[in-house]
């Protein structure tokens, strides 16, 4: 797969084209700087505390390495905190290559790279022909030890903890290499909170050096642009907000999230609203304030708005590095900043 990228992406000829590209890339830098991205983005863990964490979901079974590289390039420049991708070596390589391409254009902090796995059959994990599959725990553990992998997300139905524990045990000491462990689950009725607490008790002893996060999965894999698409994840957040004894960790929305999600959170009084957290479990005797909802993950919608530009490039020049076409990169980054900026309060005027 990695060889295929290199074979498909040819370098530009020097001369006038190179000078044109240089000027075009400066336009991209100017946009990113004028929007305030470098000054407003913080370390990913700080973003979770402030409630302005943004994650790009490439897709647990999306393995188009050229698109993944270019999406990672665009959303790194837009200031996302995390890029979530399939647990596949060539996909991780593509994400890392996209991140480094972005940082070569404008150097600022690197987003975390997360790989997604499932503890049982899950609709996020489908190959061609709609066949679901489960990632092998031993192979996943090896990937988690890579220097460019920072986090894992485990997708679960939340209905039973047996498969979750089996996967967790199979990951062994690889968890110690991570900065963040996320668990993604839908709201499944009154048993949801007790399931979250049970899963946390399975993980707790291995989370000495890692943060933990719950992904509140509303309408998975929708990519819908309508207001209704985001309601389920917001409803999940509202239910959690009403609970006094919340499961330990950060909370982040996903599933149907789009340009209307921030507006929906604001209507519920949950956008970057502070919550007092008892820090005694971490050995700190005092309570600290942090955002009740740590942030938002965008998947299908984020890919769709930038995908229009990528499709345009492929129809014009075929598979290519997006930075070799700065006018298209500028369009893509503008779209991405428009989405990420609603959470991170960029200057979008």
Task: Give CA–CA dist 113/150, Å, rounded.
Answer: 5
pLDDT at 77 over 90: yes
The neighbouring-strand residues paired with 152 are 115, 181
Dump the DSSP string for 258-323.
Answer: -TTHHHHHHHTT-TT-EEEEEGGGGT--SEEEEESS-EEEE-HHHHHHHHHHHHHHHHHH-S--GG
Q: Give the E-state strand segments of 70-130 in sequence order.
A: 82-86, 112-118, 126-127
| Nearest alpha carbon to residue 110 among 147, 82, 71 | 82
pTM for the whole thing? 0.89
275-310 per-position pLDDT tens digit:
766 554 444 444 568 899 999 999 999 999 999 999
Would you identify the CATH topology of the domain 45-274+287-344? TIM Barrel (3.20.20)
Q: What is the pLDDT of residue 45?
A: 97
Q: What is the pLDDT of residue 287?
A: 53
Dump the DSSP string for 210-240.
Answer: -EEEEEEESSTT----SGGGGHHHHHHHHHH
Q: What is the pLDDT of residue 338?
A: 97
If you average pLDDT over residues 315-326, what whole number do you get? 91
The percent of residues in the chain predicted with pLDDT above 70, rounded, is 87
Domain ranges, ordered by start, for the chain: 45-274+287-344
Dump the DSSP string for 171-222.
Answer: HGGGGGG-SEEEEEE---STTHHHHHHHHHHHHGGG-SS-EEEEEEESSTT-
Task: End-to-end CA distance of the chain: give it in Å, rounded.
Answer: 41
pLDDT at 201 over 90: yes
Q: What is the pLDDT of residue 134?
A: 72
Reduced to 3 states (helix: H, G, I; strand: E, B; else coil), residue 86 is strand
34-56 per-position pLDDT tens digit:
999 999 999 999 999 999 999 99
Categorize the per-residue pLDDT at 13 as very low, low, confident or very high, splitting at 50, 70 and 90. low
pLDDT at 58 over 80: yes
Q: What is the mean pLDDT of the chain?
A: 89
pLDDT at 268 over 80: yes
Question: Using an 8 Å Cβ cutoff, are 179 and 213 in contact?
Answer: no
If you average pLDDT over residues 323-348, what whole number do you get? 96
The neighbouring-strand residues paired with 155 are 118, 184
130-178 per-position pLDDT tens digit:
655 577 899 999 999 999 999 999 999 988 899 999 999 999 999 999 9
Q: What is the pLDDT of residue 125?
A: 47
């Amino acid at each position: 797969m990695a060889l295929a990228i290199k074979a498909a992406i040819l370098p530009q000829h020097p001369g006038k084209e190179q000078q044109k590209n240089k000027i075009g890339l400066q336009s991209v830098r100017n946009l990113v700087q004028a929007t305030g991205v470098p000054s407003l983005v913080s370390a990913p863990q700080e973003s979770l505390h402030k409630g302005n964490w943004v994650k790009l979901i490439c897709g647990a079974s999306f393995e188009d390495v050229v698109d993944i590289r270019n999406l990672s390039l665009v959303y790194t420049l837009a200031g996302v905190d995390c890029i979530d991708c399939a647990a596949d070596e060539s996909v991780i390589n593509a994400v890392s290559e996209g991140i480094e391409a972005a940082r070569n254009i404008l150097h600022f902090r690197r987003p975390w790279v997360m790989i997604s796995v499932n503890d049982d059959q899950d609709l996020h994990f489908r190959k061609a022909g709609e066949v679901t599959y489960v990632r092998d725990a031993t192979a996943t553990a090896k990937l988690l030890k890579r220097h460019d992998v920072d986090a894992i997300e485990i997708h679960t139905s939340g209905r039973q903890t047996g498969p979750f524990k089996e996967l967790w045990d199979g990951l062994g000491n690889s968890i110690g290499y991570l900065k963040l462990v996320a668990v993604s689950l839908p709201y499944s009725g009154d048993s949801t909170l007790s399931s979250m607490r049970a899963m946390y008790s399975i993980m707790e002893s291995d989370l000495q050096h890692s943060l933990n996060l719950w992904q509140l999965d509303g309408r998975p894999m929708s990519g819908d642009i309508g207001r209704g698409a985001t309601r389920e994840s917001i409803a999940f957040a509202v239910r959690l907000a009403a609970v006094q004894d919340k499961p330990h960790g950060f909370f982040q929305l996903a599933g149907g999230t789009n340009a209307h999600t921030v507006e929906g959170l604001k209507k519920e009084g949950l956008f970057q609203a502070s919550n007092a957290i008892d820090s005694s479990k971490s050995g700190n005797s005092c309570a600290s304030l942090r955002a009740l909802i740590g942030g938002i993950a965008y998947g299908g919608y984020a890919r769709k708005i930038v995908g229009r530009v990528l499709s345009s490039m492929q129809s014009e020049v075929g598979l290519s590095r997006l930075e070799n076409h700065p006018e298209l990169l500028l369009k893509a980054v503008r779209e991405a900043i428009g989405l990420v900026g609603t959470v991170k309060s960029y200057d979008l005027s």
